[in-house]
Structure 1
């Protein structure tokens, strides 16, 4: 597992995938908005669209996995950004494993971390 400091130092918010697992379901999406939001303790925020299937799964998840994709991982970015989990099982098309707290970890991500959901705040579509 990549450390949080290494992840934050290399972050490219345009290529960030968040995955969630809860209630026997798993989901993931490319996120357009994410940011480190605290230094001590280190905290990271992701904003998920309320119309996205990942939001529905994430609202019941205790942890989320945040993945940094390499610039050449266009296929993974397109899969998680351009397909809906309502119609496609995205996880049949990528290598993944279960991580800390039941998180879904994409094995080919450049870097990743699993974070505990501390708070849920409405903010966006």
Structure 2
């Protein structure tokens, strides 16, 4: 339901309203990885947030219907990879349902704690999961950073208006 007022066109809360508003919010793009029982898993996330500096905590959201959720639900550690503007294809692969995310097109190696670490990203972290908080049809995962590497090259990949994009000068 919509109504026109001095505030513009106002809509009642709905999934469509939330999606429409957040399409206007530019977000950084990350890939979250974990070691699963049947092999590595991962997904593209735009919900990555720095939560605390002391202790160093991060958070991200994942839908409970996502193919990676069963592994993330059990994982002790996760990998967090900040993608560069040159990695739109990688972001798309990890966002697409049914994709061979760790196939030949994905350069990666087993990192600390057995977590899959993507190669050639601008930065990555390994974090120990400390909590999974129910939030509607998602879970908010809180994790404490254990180690990482911020030394990769490249500018960040962004997600805006339903597509991957880059910063403009």
TM-score above 0.5, yes or no? yes
Count residues in correspondence: 111
Structure 1 unpaired stretches of 5+? 1-11
Contact 1:15 1:71 in 2 (8 A): no
Structure 1 vs Structure 2 CA RMSD: 1.5
- 1:63-109 per-position Cα deviation (integer Å, ceiling 9, x unaligned): 0000001012111111111x22xx33211120111111110100121
Q: Secondary structure at the match of 1:53?
A: coil
Q: Which has the higher contact order (CA 8 A, sep 6+)?
A: 1
Identify the structure with the greater helix proportion.
Answer: 1
C-alpha distance in 1 between matches for 2:60 and 2:52: 13
Partner of 1:73: 87
User: What TM-score do the two structures reach when normalised by structure 2?
Assistant: 0.61
- 1:51-66 to structure 2, matched below 5 A, reads 51-66=65-80
Structure 2 portions without partners, runs of 5+: 1-25, 138-169
Within 2, Cα distance between the matches of 1:107 and 1:24? 21
Structure 1 runs, 4 residues or longer, greater than 4 Å off: none
